[in-house]
Structure 1
């Protein structure tokens, strides 16, 4: 019987949805801790920076602070109000925002003729009038730049691609545009936002007011290096009350940082003395963390500067009509994350893919191991499960022997499936049939669940797939195809396993390369000696 690929595909599609729903249950051994990399779902991985942000949010909330969002884009006038004569030094570190001006676009006879050449016909007077109106509306800001080509295309009844060509080739005004700076800046420190926010709420909310915000700031550094980036996250809070002192800052700093494993604290007057703080109140917070002790950094004694706080100056507060004292504390999230997750370079922490610090966990590697061939029908999935159960049940029976594993109907044909061993004086299955693929310390192993290998399963990540499970999927898939082709018999066998592919498993090439680059290995082998035979009527 000639194989009809189209009919086979139609038959497969009839059962595929139901088969997919059952696949995890049927293909997986009874192992609740296993990873099912082909069909199962697994929890993703957090970036250490954003995990730290989330932990800081929980820490602030546990202390009774309310979360707010402070303005990110601010007029430079706010910096001048807060810093007075020193504002220029601060603004020198700010990024100013610029935008493209709206050009005056003329419609000369030469341009009209050029448009006609591009669209292959003359441009009517009404169309010229429509284009003039469009460019006028664009100049006035009534049409956005991303809608301009659409409006031109609509006016000339042409496609968008041709409209873009017209704007590019006919109107040099757009190419000659250069950004013009505005008075808007990207917030360089959270204090700029706090003054704006407090000016709206300090006289309305009941005292004490306890607010926090964890958000980006931007600072124009000389360049990015191991300790600084152009953008960073500030975890900042304020406490507003009738009587706020330095002791309030100490209490908040300790309560916040103890939640991250810091045990002891020292407070030192900050020599920088920002103008928006009352003189003598700006304080550096040094904290002891046992994780730092004995390390290779300058903090190997366990002590590190981790935060700064101070009391806002009444002079600066009066610029915003804030009448109550305000304590402000802030810390750099990246610095805290570097301590918690053992990074010495902030670039590696924030941009690990760009700076070479790529680490795959055992879970990541386990997810990259997949069953190469799987049954396409519900019957095929049940057949695979039955093959694995039969092999396991009769694995130690003396050969020659043959055991019926499954019988039923496939594509209108009667099928009987046997697990067999024809050679005498051996067993139905080789000793490695129940080996399970597990990832341990960056390497992949095929080992049995015995006391000898218990650590691999306890501390590693199992794929949830034994040799017999993935092999049974291949056998069932080939029997399905044989039944669709009209074959009378199908036989699938495996002898000595020397790699993943021998037991119908595959791994992504990039993960293979990663394992090799880290000195790991893929050790999936062993004597299996199993044959599956199907009789098809």
Structure 2
């Protein structure tokens, strides 16, 4: 379906302030919802992890902390300085950073002939230019993504030919093996805090209250429901001459209380990391009422949410940091799982890869993916659509043969008359299913009449608000527009409906896949038997 973003914006901007103030997520303009179903959402939906990150940032700043970014790439020598004899165990969980070496490529006479067969008849200057560019690439004077365009520009040939030449003539580029460096991806935010504080001591005096919410990387043996190799750490430090464990308790309580936690417990952490002063490493347990009786392992309401401690003077001295430092950190994903009722961090963080086992659509979700396909585009066409609907509502039960004029007027500078007709005897102007309504009920898509028999479906399902006659009238109006533009009459007929498209109803393929995958059904069968004719007068 084609759409005009400016039209959507214009149709919905009047609702902006009200929707923002009341937290509404949906546009109240039915015309936009009907015509542009994929754009019915007023605001985008935040990712639960980034939503939690934003709330953590605001919570830290409300406590008076200043936001910083710490180095992500950390040399392994820093790990040795920070962790001492534990460094090897830590490095075992670190990702080392590698890169491809720059090959030393020679150009033999045989290769020159191959190059000419691909690029054309190069003279000696052309070959020399290739040799010089490859040498500059080897020395790092030309970046890898500039190699092809650089050769192409010098030789005045296309990039594609140069790419083919490198692929066929220089196999060295395809057989390169990465070489590891001494750099690692940060596995703990602590690694970055030592480096940052060591630099800041030269120009910032304590007290310092800093925080960072950012990525860390840990080479786990495998990812599971509770751990990922790439995760977010929400970490803070207080550098002050008088900082103590009590400050850690106060910050933990002040931070987590902003997320609904209460009644905190603190107990010594058995892990006893080398970079903390002995007996200061502390686990934080917090009580959250919404967890009580849940199906999670935290059904008693208590959950471990953070760890804090005082950095060891010996580790601080490696960076010439003369002041005590308290550090507190928590995993963002763990907090997000609690706030968003998730049992699996993989499904929470990467739902796009978990949809087959965790994909749930509500009736409301499915109903929002059902829409009228063909709609009139002119104001007169929209009037015709409404007129057809009104006439069918008013005369639909009239015994046939019969006909009724629904609309007369001008369309594309032509006078036209629109009639609803039923020439056959012993029937009615409209079939018994004409007023059926499309609803989603228990994840089925159904076309049902609003009768007492279907009260449960309409009361507990979600209606699209689209009746068969509404969708049919829209198609008729669109056909009338097309015919009138050519100066012709038209006839649009509908008989027994078997599939939604026959009544001008479209269902988003996503909803169709969900219904099929969950063995639900789409049943819109029904006799509509309505005919609309148009004549030029």
Cα distance in 1 between the residues matched to 2:6 and 2:297: 59
Tell me what 2:417 maps to.
416
Tell me what 1:193 maps to.
192
Tell me what 1:89 maps to.
89
Say whether residues 1:358 and 2:383 are aligned partners: no
SS at match of 1:386: helix
Give a deviation string over 1:317-367, Cα, whole Å, max 9, x none.
232233333221111122222333333332232233334322334454234
Tell me what 1:3 maps to.
none
Assess if the C-alpha contact under 8 Å between 1:48 and 1:337 holds in 2: yes
Tell me: CA distance 1:111–1:406, structure 2 relative to 1, closer, same or farther (3 Å): same
Cα distance in 2 between the residues matched to 1:31 and 1:513: 28
Tell me: CA distance 1:448–1:180, structure 2 relative to 1, closer, same or farther (3 Å): same
Shift of 1:377: 4.0
Tell me what 1:506 maps to.
506
Give a deviation string over 1:144-195, Cα, whole Å, max 9, x none.
1112122222333322222112212222332332211112110101111122
Gapped runs of 5+ residues in structure 2? Answer: 13-26
Tell me what 1:101 maps to.
101
Cα distance in 1 between the residues matched to 2:239 and 2:300: 36
Tell me: CA distance 1:150–1:18, structure 2 relative to 1, closer, same or farther (3 Å): closer
Moved more, 456-465 or 345-354: 456-465
Aligned with residue 36 of structure 1, among 33, 55, 62: 33
Assess if the C-alpha contact under 8 Å between 2:11 and 2:29 holds in 1: no
Tell me what 1:173 maps to.
172
Tell me what 2:73 maps to.
73
Assess if the C-alpha contact under 8 Å between 1:444 and 1:522 holds in 2: yes
SS at match of 2:55: helix
Tell me what 1:59 maps to.
59
SS at match of 1:106: coil
Shift of 1:530: 4.4
Assess if the C-alpha contact under 8 Å between 2:285 and 2:303 holds in 1: yes
Tell me what 2:261 maps to.
262
SS at match of 1:101: coil
Cα distance in 2 between the residues matched to 1:456 and 1:256: 46
Cα distance in 2 between the residues matched to 1:532 and 1:24: 31
Say whether residues 1:371 and 2:385 are aligned partners: no
Tell me what 1:47 maps to.
47
Cα distance in 2 between the residues matched to 1:23 and 1:493: 35
Assess if the C-alpha contact under 8 Å between 1:437 and 1:445 holds in 2: yes
Give a deviation string over 1:417-444, Cα, whole Å, max 9, x none.
2345667898766676555434455343
Cα distance in 2 between the residues matched to 1:61 and 1:427: 70
The structure, 1 or 2, with the larger RCO (C-alpha pairs under 8 Å, 6+ apart) is: 1
Moved more, 276-285 or 195-204: 195-204
Tell me what 2:310 maps to.
311
Cα distance in 1 between the residues matched to 2:398 and 2:92: 83
Alignment of 1:17-28 (within 5 A): none
Tell me: CA distance 1:32–1:24, structure 2 relative to 1, closer, same or farther (3 Å): closer
Cα distance in 2 between the residues matched to 1:53 and 1:285: 19
Tell me: CA distance 1:22–1:108, structure 2 relative to 1, closer, same or farther (3 Å): closer
Moved more, 272-281 or 167-176: 167-176
Give a deviation string over 1:279-335, Cα, whole Å, max 9, x none.
111111112234433444543323222211112222222322333332211111222
Assess if the C-alpha contact under 8 Å between 1:35 and 1:463 holds in 2: no
Cα distance in 2 between the residues matched to 1:19 and 1:190: 44
SS at match of 2:327: strand
Assess if the C-alpha contact under 8 Å between 1:52 and 1:333 holds in 2: yes
Gapped runs of 5+ residues in structure 1? Answer: 1-12
SS at match of 2:167: helix
SS at match of 2:241: coil
Shift of 1:266: 1.4
Cα distance in 1 between the residues matched to 2:405 and 2:5: 25
Moved more, 349-358 or 456-465: 456-465
Tell me what 2:283 maps to.
284
Assess if the C-alpha contact under 8 Å between 1:436 and 1:465 holds in 2: yes
SS at match of 1:353: helix
Tell me what 1:7 maps to.
none
Moved more, 127-136 or 493-502: 493-502
Give the TM-score, by structure 2 length.
Answer: 0.83
Assess if the C-alpha contact under 8 Å between 1:34 and 1:462 holds in 2: no
Over the aligned positions, Cα root-mean-square deviation in angstroms equals 3.7
Alignment of 1:110-121 (within 5 A): 110-121=110-121
Give a deviation string over 1:365-391, Cα, whole Å, max 9, x none.
234323222235443234223333454
SS at match of 2:33: coil
Tell me: CA distance 1:162–1:447, structure 2 relative to 1, closer, same or farther (3 Å): same
Cα distance in 1 between the residues matched to 2:287 and 2:5: 58
Cα distance in 1 between the residues matched to 2:99 and 2:166: 19
Cα distance in 1 between the residues matched to 2:5 and 2:45: 30
SS at match of 2:353: coil
Moved more, 286-295 or 73-82: 286-295
Shift of 1:412: 4.4
Shift of 1:95: 0.6
Shift of 1:468: 3.0
SS at match of 2:70: coil
Tell me what 1:477 maps to.
478
Cα distance in 2 between the residues matched to 1:454 and 1:170: 74
